A and B are shown apart, each in its own frame.
Chain A
Amino acid sequence: MPRALLFSLILFPAQLIAQCCSGGVPMSNNIGLPGADKGILQVNLTYDWNNLQNLKTESSSLNDNSRQRETHSFLLELGYSISDRLSIDLFIPMIRQERTIISTLGNVDFDKTQGLGDIVILPKYSLTDKIIIGAGIKIPTGHSDRTDDGLTLVADLQPGSGALDGVFYFAYSNYLTSRPSLGYFGNIIFRATGENDSYLGSSTYQFGNELQLIAGIADRFLVSKLQIDPSLKVRYREAGRDSFDQSEFPNSGGSFVFINPGISIVVSQALSWQINTSIPVHTFVDGTQLAPTLQINTGLLFRLNLKQKEFEL
């Protein structure tokens, strides 16, 4: 199985930057583009919709649908292979955070923020054909002081975190020798969060560290000359508690397990389209929080050989 295909299986619904309730977005579902040969520029354009509508206390649903959080993310991820082993990814998000509350009397309160999110730079190195490691940073380019009607909104409604984070990445992929088109893979992504030291003026806020463990399988089928790659992933995500002025912030953090079915259609060597969903199957939030309900992600991946002057899509 070609290395590019193997690692393309690792491409996940993306939300690198937007911060949300800890059941929500934070980062790096899909950090890390597929591996590619030297001179290849990969451009991944993605739209991601993340919906949180399930109010929970720990793992119990409160059957309260009065609150909804939606995050719309437009993501541009650029990956360039400096050599066959060394590459660098640049992740630029545009984030729109929405909050809708329907009161018991039926009144609707809607707030939103939007803007550039935090940019991630992630150098990666292929240890072998099967293993990629990476370490990078998330730069606080996104606003973390957006207001609504002149009043500053809290951290999880901001497009940026206001903090410099460290990002660590590990990817493994392999395939069955008995069926080379069937690949299996695993990811470990860890974000060591920094501190926003100008939160709501002069306070500090720090999102909890975040760990994601991902495992999945994917296969390839030919349908009318179209290459179709269905995939199924299991994703475990654990978010630590946030802190405010160095003290733990109640009702933040939790652990989640998602099932991510997806499909990718390879239009040509230079273009593929993918769509993924993320369905929570286990949620445990600290205290009471809105928890993820559904996430849908779709995007186009372009692979451009900069050594050639024209590209065939």
Chain B
Amino acid sequence: MKYIKKLTLLLLLMGCNTEDDPLTTGTTVNSEWLIPTSQVFDVVGKDAIPALENPEMSKIDGANLEFMDDSDLVLVYESGGEVRAYAHPVLDWHEIINDQIGDDYVAITYCPLTGTGIGWGREINGSITTFGVSGFLYETNLMPYDRLTNSYWNQMFNQCVNGFLIRETPEFFNLVQMNYAALKDLYPNALITSNNTGHIRNYNTYPYDNYRTDSEILFPISRSDTRLHPKALVRGVEINGSAKAYPFPNSNKRELIIDEFNGKEIIVVADEAKGFMVSFLNREIESTPLVFNLIDEENSNLILEDQLGNKWDLFGKAVEGPNAGSQLEVPYSYIGYWFAWATFYPNVTLYELE
């Protein structure tokens, strides 16, 4: 029986090595979190989803765009007259694109699980950083990390939630989401991310099956709201910490919504066929509140006309008229799945469509 005893001892020794390692017992490197860590899950590991840095851009209908369908969505950023589009089929696989347009250092952050695309400034406290994908999810939403300090951020929480830069808020860069067909019509001179990313991925395949349209949510969230289908796309607008969500109107034509929320007049223009919905705060020019009418021209990126004769584009810039060059303020707002807005803003107001 002495050999049985030896075997038993060997097994016990193996067991001793495995249970007491502090790395497996949940010590926290940075103890303070602004979000409950019980809702933060380490899903794939840091950089398992590789963010892109200054990726190659193609002209519309240029090279390496065979993977794009007209119905694919893109996130469009405009700066100094240059328009760049970041394709969902690329972002589905990379989630963050660090780019520079002129003097704008921007990170295109996109979470495929919440459907949210938000532009973040990459200049934090005077230093230029890049963001990577931490592999964590909070409320099933993307958590970037910045590579200068390794601090963790949450996209929809819109703040650094753990680490050296805790409580820092990134600068908001307005992105306009639309489909590829609309991009070709409205911004034919835009540049767009190609499939020459430096990574081999199947960009013409959506990596999450039917997730965009089914009712399933892949990781736990803390609440649900059944007023809309979970994956209904809405444009959420946050004013002073409160949110209102605007669903796409049940219409195939361009729609103008003028609404009041938290003391602000919100201008929303939606065009489901082109996949865009934008929002602005109304403003006065020379003490005159603007009154808008919709411009509904098929191949024009001008969407609003005011009583002064100004014509405003999708980014809220007056490009024609006496006040050309003026800008409408874009509130903190972006398109995402309804369930995500309802999770992050439990008291979100839902705009009632007529």
Contacts and interface: CB of A to CB of B under 8 A. Distances in A.
Query: Do these two chains really belong together in a complex?
Result: yes
B55 to A, nearest CB: 12
Interface string A272-313: 000000000000000110000000000000101000010101
Interface string B193-205: 0000011111001
B19 A112 contact: no
Interface SS of chain A: strand
A244 B218 contact: yes
Nearest to A78: B7
Contact of B48 (A67, A113, A311): A67
Nearest to A63: B200
Contacts of B202: 57, 60, 288
A127 interface: no
A296 to B, nearest CB: 18
Nearest to A241: B209
A145 to B, nearest CB: 9
Interface of B: 1, 3-4, 7, 10-11, 14-15, 17-19, 21, 23-29, 37-38, 40-48, 50, 53, 132, 135-136, 147, 198-202, 205, 207-209, 211, 214, 216-220
Interface stretch (A26-34, A186-194, A198-206, A209-217): A198-206
Main secondary structure of the interface of B (DSSP, over half): loop
Contacts of B3: 302, 304, 311, 313
B305 to A, nearest CB: 45
Contact of A99 (B17, B45, B219): B45
B207 A287 contact: yes
A194 to B, nearest CB: 20
A101 B48 contact: yes
Residue among A62, A105, A157, A311 having the largest count of chain B Cβ atoms under 10 Å: A105
A151 interface: yes
Contacts of B209: 248, 250, 287
A91 interface: no
A147 B207 contact: no
A45 B45 contact: no
Contacts of A104: 47, 50, 53, 198
Contacts of B53: 104
Nearest to A47: B14
Contacts of A105: 147
26 contacts: A41-B4, A43-B7, A57-B201, A67-B48, A74-B14, A103-B46, A103-B47, A104-B53, A104-B198, A111-B45, A112-B23, A114-B19, A116-B15, A146-B24, A147-B24, A147-B25, A148-B23, A149-B42, A151-B136, A154-B44, A247-B214, A250-B208, A287-B207, A287-B209, A288-B202, A304-B3
Interface in A118-138: none
A149 B47 contact: no
Contacts of B27: 149-150
Given A64-B200, A148-B23, A201-B38, A94 B18 contact: yes
B47 A66 contact: yes
Nearest to B150: A107
Contact of A94 (B7, B15, B43, B50): B15
Contacts of B216: 244-245, 247
A18 B315 CA distance: 52
Query: Which size bracket describes the interface of A in this complex?
Result: 35 or more
A109 B47 contact: yes
Contact of B220 (A146, A202, A251, A309): A202
Nearest to B29: A149
A112 B23 CA distance: 8
A20 B47 CA distance: 19
Contact of A114 (B18, B136, B201, B211): B18
A288 B207 contact: yes
A211 to B, nearest CB: 22
Given A43-B7, A201-B220, A147 B15 contact: no
Nearest to A152: B41
Interface in A75-122: 76, 92, 94, 96, 99, 101-105, 107, 109, 111-116
